[in-house]
Structure 1
């Protein structure tokens, strides 16, 4: 079973009541993005796999004249260095604090949107708040992702309670 944990895996790892999502829940492979919650400035990620699913190194690119364990012998190492640096800088405690703050902002947005009389939904272990789609000019101004009669916001690290309050002003 593969878990595409993109943004949610790190949130689940530090959420107070995390959903079953990792290797201990039966996952065989797991993908985590480095550019979302961690904040690496270019798209990147990590794939973790159970040992028996990882092929032995040895895929040789003839033009290299050496074995290469990267996928397709062509991955840029700079993103991996940035990811390593961000993880070292934040550490486990820093990631936990970042997730807690983002979850707090998501809960704040959920409750404040509901206080406006709009439907507001969120899984407690998620940074995504789904709510009734606002007027088109509000969606454009805030670059809200919309589908049908719903919109959503994601409480990423740069989103603050003040940001939510400004959105709420437009929703009201």
Structure 2
């Protein structure tokens, strides 16, 4: 069962591995990323960052959607993580129900502009967020569990 979904450019790291998995009692982290799924070095690093007792799946978006829709994780408490909103749009288009996405850290690059201190988006990201929002996905920004969850769409209006 999908317990939470998060966008975080760092994928599995301290905030996700320690704070979110503990707070939400997560039993499996699913990283959805076509490139990382084929990179053994990155996958190895993600495995090392995953807390003991929590399972890790690193899957391309097609396989992630297929597995979720097949009920493969129904008995588990699943946290889905991707680097950007594009993967969640694809999951949604494939029929996966995503109720809420927590937007965490999105790194700065030459193509991004800052919407919060730690969230930087491209114009394409903004369009994807709007599409998710229009399809009923609740978008929040909450870096750590103790922070107040804020409506992410308010940050895009600036």
Q: TM-score, normalised by structure 2?
A: 0.27
Q: Which of 1 and 2 has greater Rg? A: 1
TM-score normalized by structure 1?
0.25
Task: Report the structure, 1 or 2, having the larger helix content.
Answer: 1
Higher relative contact order (CA 8 A, sep 6+): 2
